[in-house]
Structure 1
């Protein structure tokens, strides 16, 4: 651009006046171009500012997540046309932009300053004003020359008209995010639009859910009152022991406590009890009293929230009131299992309030990493739940709430959890997963419309973990509800369009699976087992649902599943049954898992003897996780398998679980026991060594102690499970034990009859005994009616004992569980107990939640058996050489 000085003689003044006339035309045209383009940009800015002012913030899990603007058709069309006008503005290069700036800013100033150049004004102006006009004249001459060279007039003509590149007649509100309109760059982030197909039902759905919740509100309020009454004695006791100084922890007000102490008020509870007389104390006015009472009430609320709700096995008035209130709430609810969906509806309520019949679309701008599709999913979840609630009726009143509670205690505790009265440590519910994976799992939606029960928080997390990672081992301790976690995964997949699922389990738990599916979901289970397996398989193929089969059915052995419909998810229960990769059943399961999109292996004992078993299970799911990791330390191993393995312990997540009391009872061998034991040692017969202490009736101290335990249980109204590895031990006991005896529950009992046997035992009076082989009754069955467990001998595999105990000490157990381990002193039981400590350590380091730095030795059953026999033979049979006779010669 011209900037140099010039001289003004008469000719120069004439040239400057000519230049001014040309520049004036250009300046006027440039001002028109600038005014037009500024108006187009201002129109877009104003529309967006208006949308932003009217937008609402929609949270997710308590944090602002989406900013949503509601647009009517007129507003959407108007914004589209404004953006089209902006997009059709002529493009200006850097030199053209600079020219426009000069023509609209400096050029007008130069024209004003050059007015003195007219002949008349020049003649009558002072030399000073003439001198000041020189730079303006020079600038105008050079600007005119530059403009002529660069064809500024043509440029201004081009910049004065829309390009017409974007035809507004072909665009509508649906095209708001067309990249050519440039809206994303204007609003930032990753905006998206949702049309009425997504949000049209939102106001109705939120209103319906809130109405349903309002209908339940009186019952819910009664529950809150009952829980407050249940907690009241414990809260009062805690506040009565809480010193006044604790008040300072919950208020910023300055508290003078000396007047209270002089009046004998020394605890927080005393402040509440005597609050009416506080202002009569010296130095305490109304404001001070209000601060004191407010702080005391805050401590009372905090203390109440921390009091656990543990319902006993026998009713008392406070617990009975809670159970009755739970039954009433459950009876009127149409929103059962909808706790998470109701929370989403609350999040969406501000959006629902601004959506009406005139709303054409939503402009969604994510404020976090969650995309707009997450909002669409949330809206769809609320609409689906409202539709389900509309056709749902409550369970109705319960004639005997306490009897219903004792029949299904786990469901009642889930209700307590949904009501917010079971405090779970969320971090404990995450197992050993890394933080990034935990966040991904928390963000995973879980659709539970097909479930008829509520989920505990840790169970919901386990199901979402399986959905996110697709193929996993759920290794929770026994009794935490792995079955319902897997069922929740199937329910979610069913709700999202999947149709066919498969459960593979041992025969002993097949009936339990069929019952769980029917009792806890609306899905259909098909028993592909027994004489009618072909008909069941055909019904599953035709109708969909869950095929429940066992590892070694003809259907599984023939791999007929591969010829049927696509299986969305396979659940392998008691997955330790396929720990041996050389076994045919293991190879069949491996092929099945490889062929499906989702697979869940359920086992509380992923490793029974050595780490290789754990590796085998993980390899079925995600073969690459342990590639190249041989002989690694436990911490590194746990870190490597984390993407495929989730384990939580009872202690971490079941805060309401009654106490587990374990007692080792060391007993001598009786005379007949000892003779038989020596013979078994001499023969090297470990199995006989392990059971001789239970085979001589009342003459055996172990049997005598077992009778005493059963008699004590009968006096206390408790039921007993007696476990042994040996069938002949169990077969010898029915005639020796008082009270009704059920079983033995062993491998000879058909799968269909096992659950019936447990049902009969559960219905019996206190003192009833269930005899169970530890390899049968300790796997996959729920026997929480018993609260006394007797183990007749230590097991070579400690996992069997843990499983057996967990059949009784599990979610829903109402009584403390007593575990009696009957052990023979100075015999094989001592040797086994010593050696098994290594196997327990191995499991804890690699498979449980605690990890150490060093690997443990592997100990197989065969190796333990060899060592035990060798030690006992040396101890009992070794005869030292005779000492030489003294030399009397």
Structure 2
């Protein structure tokens, strides 16, 4: 890495989650130490500031650190030259970009760099303008939606290496053949290792997909939701309907305005015609009962926050006493690690219900050995990051990862799409989009296997 970056001025560190990307960066900083005149800038999500500070103190205690965040942060460029390493967040850097542009940074490190995958975003444009000597975007998921994600990150690390955006999109359409060709070009400057190839000391990860039948009564309600939504939203019906169907598959009691499945917050309406105990809830509680009986800890990932209430209500009737906690978008970043510590230190079984967008990255939760994906995501990277909270270095036991999904519903389409996107992503970082095709399929597929 050090030899490559000394020659190119940039690399993309794309190791899979759990392989120590943070430690590798700290080692590089020790090999080529930043000065106060030309400090290193590490940009990361708010939730990772404390982890970076802790790891630098632990492995490079001679490096001085300045955290630039909050109301008392520096207001002029000279205020950033008081330490060898400056830690800040993406939003803070964008807000204070004129101050950051006044420093020539020896290192620009962008953690969770998937936040910069959109070359049109103000965030990506602001950070690309910063004067720097060396650049390292860090992400375990360099491609999430299309090959342009990779272009954006590589162009940030080594501007112009893959030519300009228009030329790149013309030469590399979103196909598996293009992904393989692109991998050959980027291989020298993209460090990509997978846990299965490197961490031979890690225990097994057992992935278990559990297809579930809705049953005749819920299948009829599913069809009614689809038909009613398409009638109500004739123009945007496909997109809205898939969102409403995702809500329904999580639990029919969940109601969302317009069916935007990206909204964490939903309304919980106890429908008299629908029992708490849906087939998915029954399967989830069965897994929890077995886990708790063995004294194990469980992570449940659900994209809708109110799912936690429903699962907890069902569990209270069936499973023994255990630790319960939740982390979602409304949980202050400063509280998230505290919740993880309480969960990990609790002597006995426990369950953390988490939104993968809030807790899917940056947290080490190796106390858990069972992961349940209660809802699915169109983006396989989100799910992969979430599973890696438990299956990572420090884990001593096998980790069981369950994906629950209703057969012949929008969730089956999501699962198929996830597997396809994973396959094309692997080719390129040696993804593409099928949005329209998948939306059509999601509206055609019906419980019971009819289309």
- Does TM-score exceed 0.5, indicating one fold? yes
Match of 1:703?
281
**CA deviation vs aligned residue, 1:262-297 (integer Å, no higher than 9, x gap):** xxxxxxxxxxxxxxxxxxxxxxxxxxxxxxxxxxxx
**CA deviation vs aligned residue, 1:66-102 (integer Å, no higher than 9, x gap):** xxxxxxxxxxxxxxxxxxxxxxxxxxxxxxxxxxxxx
How many angstroms does 1:502 deviate by? 1.1
How many angstroms does 1:648 deviate by? 0.7
Match of 1:494?
33
- How far, CA to CA, are the matches of 1:526 and 1:497 in structure 2? 10
- How far, CA to CA, are the matches of 1:545 and 1:707 in structure 2? 50
Match of 1:722?
300
Asked if the contact 1:478/1:604 (under 8 Å) is kept, the reply is: yes
Give the direction of change, closer, same or farther, for the CA distance of 1:715–1:876 in structure 2 (3 Å limit). closer
Asked if the contact 2:36/2:84 (under 8 Å) is kept, the reply is: no
Asked if the contact 2:203/2:398 (under 8 Å) is kept, the reply is: yes
Give the direction of change, closer, same or farther, for the CA distance of 1:865–1:761 in structure 2 (3 Å limit). farther
Give the SS at the match of 1:589: helix
Of residues 151, 154, 164, the one that matches 1:615 is: 151
Aligned-CA RMSD value: 2.8
Of residues 639, 643, 652, the one that matches 2:184 is: 639
Match of 1:506?
45
TM-score, normalization by structure 2: 0.81
- How far, CA to CA, are the matches of 1:757 and 1:538 in structure 2? 37
Asked if the contact 1:808/1:817 (under 8 Å) is kept, the reply is: yes
Q: How does 1:628-667 map to 2 (within 5 A)?
A: 630-631=171-172, 633-667=178-212
Give the SS at the match of 2:54: helix
Give the direction of change, closer, same or farther, for the CA distance of 1:495–1:835 in structure 2 (3 Å limit). closer
- How far, CA to CA, are the matches of 1:541 and 1:635 in structure 2? 43
Please tell me whether residue 773 in structure 1 is matched to residue 355 in structure 2.
Answer: yes
- How far, CA to CA, are the matches of 1:817 and 1:872 in structure 2? 33
How many angstroms does 1:497 deviate by? 8.6
Give the direction of change, closer, same or farther, for the CA distance of 1:512–1:671 in structure 2 (3 Å limit). farther
Match of 1:712?
290
Q: How does 1:131-146 map to 2 (within 5 A)?
A: none
Match of 1:397?
none
Asked if the contact 2:41/2:85 (under 8 Å) is kept, the reply is: yes
Asked if the contact 1:720/1:786 (under 8 Å) is kept, the reply is: yes
Asked if the contact 1:511/1:751 (under 8 Å) is kept, the reply is: no
How many angstroms does 1:741 deviate by? 4.6
Give the SS at the match of 1:735: helix
- Report which of the two structures shows the higher radius of gyration computed on alpha carbons: 1
Please tell me whether residue 545 in structure 1 is matched to residue 104 in structure 2.
Answer: no
Asked if the contact 2:378/2:417 (under 8 Å) is kept, the reply is: no
- How far, CA to CA, are the matches of 1:473 and 1:651 in structure 2? 20
Q: How does 1:863-878 map to 2 (within 5 A)?
A: 863=436, 866-872=439-445
Match of 2:421?
839
How many angstroms does 1:625 deviate by? 2.4
Q: Number of residues paired by the alignment?
A: 404
Match of 1:473?
12
**CA deviation vs aligned residue, 1:42-89 (integer Å, no higher than 9, x gap):** xxxxxxxxxxxxxxxxxxxxxxxxxxxxxxxxxxxxxxxxxxxxxxxx
How many angstroms does 1:535 deviate by? 8.3
Give the SS at the match of 2:312: coil
Give the direction of change, closer, same or farther, for the CA distance of 1:736–1:538 in structure 2 (3 Å limit). farther
The answer to which structure, 1 or 2, has the higher relative contact order (CA under 8 A, 6+ apart) is 2
Give the SS at the match of 2:87: strand
**CA deviation vs aligned residue, 1:543-600 (integer Å, no higher than 9, x gap):** x1322211112x43231443554321011011111111111001012112xx101111
Match of 1:602?
138
Match of 2:243?
687
Give the direction of change, closer, same or farther, for the CA distance of 1:713–1:875 in structure 2 (3 Å limit). closer
Q: How does 1:125-524 map to 2 (within 5 A)?
A: 462=1, 465-494=4-33, 500-522=39-61, 523-524=63-64
Of residues 568, 575, 578, the one that matches 2:113 is: 575
Of residues 793, 813, 835, the one that matches 2:375 is: 793
How many angstroms does 1:698 deviate by? 4.4
Match of 1:528?
68
* Greater fraction helix: 1
Asked if the contact 1:512/1:781 (under 8 Å) is kept, the reply is: no
Give the direction of change, closer, same or farther, for the CA distance of 1:820–1:864 in structure 2 (3 Å limit). farther
TM-score, normalization by structure 1: 0.43
How many angstroms does 1:751 deviate by? 1.6
Asked if the contact 1:716/1:766 (under 8 Å) is kept, the reply is: no
- How far, CA to CA, are the matches of 1:463 and 1:560 in structure 2? 30
Asked if the contact 1:501/1:570 (under 8 Å) is kept, the reply is: yes
How many angstroms does 1:805 deviate by? 1.0
- How far, CA to CA, are the matches of 2:4 and 2:345 in structure 1? 37
Asked if the contact 1:673/1:693 (under 8 Å) is kept, the reply is: no
